[in-house]
Structure 1
C-alpha cells in the first residue's frame, strides 16, 4: 500500500508550482516520502486496531474537524522543521492533504 500512497502523493504534488519552484529535488523527494509515510501509518493504525482511522478522518474532513486540523498542523510543523520548507510549500501541502487522505479512505477495502 505504501507504494500506492507514494505514487498518489507524487501525482498530487509533483510539479505543483508552489512546491517545485521553492524547494530542491532532494527536498521534494523527502517531502513525498514523509507524506506517504504519514498517510500509510494512519492506514496501518486503522487496520491493526480494527478502527478506521482514515474513515474517521474522511468524515472529519467534511466538517473541518479538529482531528484533521491537528494532524495537518502536526504534519506541516514536522515537515517544516525537518526540511525547512517555505510558507508557499506548506500552504500547498495543507491544501492537498485532505484530498489525499480522502482518496485513501475511499480506496480501503472492507475487511
Structure 2
C-alpha cells in the first residue's frame, strides 16, 4: 500500500510549480516519501481501529479535526525538517484532503 500512496503523492505533487521551484529534486523526493509515510500511518491506524476509519473518512470529507491533526503534524514535520516556505506547505495542505480521502476509502476495502 505504501508504494501506491507514494505514487499518488508523486502524481499529485510532482512538478507542482510552488514545490519544484523551491526545493531540490532530492528534497522533493524526501518530501513525497514523508507525506506517503504519514498517509500510510493514518490509514493503517484507521483500518485497525474499526469505527476510527469511518471517523477519518467523515473528517476528511468535512475538513474535521482528525484531518487537521494529520495535516498539522505533517506540515510541522516538513517545515522543521526542510525549512519549507508557505507556498510549498500551502500546496501540500491543499492536496492532503484528497489524498487522505482516497486512501481512507481504499483501506476499508
Quote the RMSD (CA, aligned, Å).
Answer: 1.5
Unmatched tracts of structure 1, length 5 or more: none
Q: What TM-score results when the alignment is normalised by the length of structure 2?
A: 0.89
Matches within 5 A, 1:27-106: 27-53=27-53, 55-106=54-105
Residue 81 to residue 104, structure 1, CA distance change in 2 (3 Å): same
Q: What TM-score results when the alignment is normalised by the length of structure 1?
A: 0.88
Tell me the CA shift for residue 43 of structure 1.
Answer: 1.7
Tell me the CA shift for residue 109 of structure 1.
Answer: 4.3
Unmatched tracts of structure 2, length 5 or more: none
CA distance in 1, matches of 2:47, 2:60: 20
- SS of the residue corresponding to residue 63 of structure 2 reads coil
Q: Which has the higher helix share?
A: 2
CA distance in 1, matches of 2:44, 2:65: 21
Q: How many residues align?
A: 109
CA distance in 2, matches of 1:108, 1:12: 19
CA distance in 1, matches of 2:31, 2:90: 13
Residues 10, 32 of structure 2: 8 Å contact kept: yes
Matches within 5 A, 1:9-24: 9-24=9-24
